[in-house]
Amino acid sequence: MIKNIGLFDSGVGGLTVAKELMRAFPWLNIFYFGDTARLPYGNKSPRTITAYSKEIASFLLGKNVEMLVVACNTSSSIALGELERELPVPVVGMIKPGAKSAAERSESGRIGLIGTRATVASGAYEKEIRALNPSATVFSKACPLFVPLVEEGFAEDPVAEMVAARYLAPVLENGPDTLILGCTHYPMLIPVLRKAAPGVSLVSSGEATTEYLMEEHGFPRGKGPDEKGFLEIFVTDGGTHFKEVAEALLGKKIELEEVSLERLVTG
C-alpha cells in the first residue's frame, strides 16, 4: 500500500489538492513542492513547463515517494506523458480525474473549462472529455489573472469578482451546466466563482483526484489502520505570500523548507 506521495504545483494552488487528500486519506504522507521562484507556469512554453516539472519530480523521488501527483493542471496538460514514461512510480495528473468528474456530472453535455493559457491551449481536457462523451461540448477560457490574485491573497477581494465576471461571461453565454476549475489555484476563488456562475456545478481538481485515487488506485478513505500521516512543504522561494495564503487555506501554522533553484537543478 502506498504511504508516501509527492505532490507539486507552481505555487500554493496544489495545496487545494493536498487539503482534500489529507481529509480523505489522513494516513497519507505528503511531500509538497511549490515552485514559487518560477511561478506562474501557465504563461510559459511547453518546453519550460516540462523541464521544471522533471526537475521537481526528480527532487521528490529523492524523498522516496511511491507516487507522484501532479497537482498542477498546467504541468498535467503538458508534461504528464513524459513524466509517466520516465518515472519509476505511478504518476497521477489532474486532467483525467477532472474530465471524468465533469463528464459524469454534466447532464446537458455542455461543459465550461477555465484554466491557464497553457492548459486551455493544450486541448487536454477536451480530448479526455470527448473520449468519455463524444457528444459533449467544451467551452473554454484562459484566465491568466486568477493565479496572481490567489497568490497575492486577493481571492475574495472585489477585484477578483470583477475579473471573474469578465472571464466567465463568454463561457456562460453558452449555457454550461458544469464548470471545470482547470487550475488548482481556482478552488480558492469558489465563493467568487459561485457568485459569477450561479447554478453551475463546479468541478475541483482536489475532489476529483480523491475519487480517482479511490477508484483507480484503491486508496482507502478514512483513518485506516495506520498512524496519522504528515504534510511536508518545500518551496523554491520563501519570500512570497505562500506561507500566509497556505496557512489561511489549511487553517493551521506550517513550516516551509526552502530549496534553492541551484540545488533543484543540480540535484
By CB under 6 A, name the binding residues for ligand DGL: 9-11, 13, 39-42, 72-74, 116, 119, 147, 183-185
Nearer to ligand DGL, 41 or 219 (CB): 41
Separation between Cα atoms, residue 263 and residue 267, nearest integer Å: 6
Q: How far is the CB of 75 from ligand DGL (least distance, A)?
A: 7
What residues have CB less than 8 Å from 80, skipping those under 6 apart? 70, 91, 93, 95
Nearer to ligand DGL, 72 or 87 (CB): 72
Separation between Cα atoms, residue 63 and residue 40, nearest integer Å: 25
Nearer to ligand DGL, 171 or 180 (CB): 180
- Contacts for 257-266: CB closer than 8 Å, 24+ residues apart: 257/232, 257/233, 258/234, 259/33, 259/59, 259/234, 259/235, 260/236, 261/37, 261/38, 261/236, 264/55, 264/56, 264/59, 264/236, 265/55
The three cell numbers of residue 75 are 504541468
Q: How far is the CB of 147 from ligand DGL (least distance, A)?
A: 4
The three cell numbers of residue 254 are 506550517
What residues have CB less than 8 Å from 160, skipping those under 6 apart? 146, 149, 154, 189, 192
Q: How far is the CB of 24 from ligand DGL (least distance, A)?
A: 19
Q: Which residues are part of the catalytic machinery?
A: 72, 183
Nearer to ligand DGL, 79 or 196 (CB): 79
Nearer to ligand DGL, 37 or 39 (CB): 39
Q: Give the distance from CA 221 to its chain's centroid.
A: 20
Q: How far is the CB of 125 from ligand DGL (least distance, A)?
A: 12
Q: How far is the CB of 88 from ligand DGL (least distance, A)?
A: 24
Is-contact 21 208, C-beta < 8 A? no
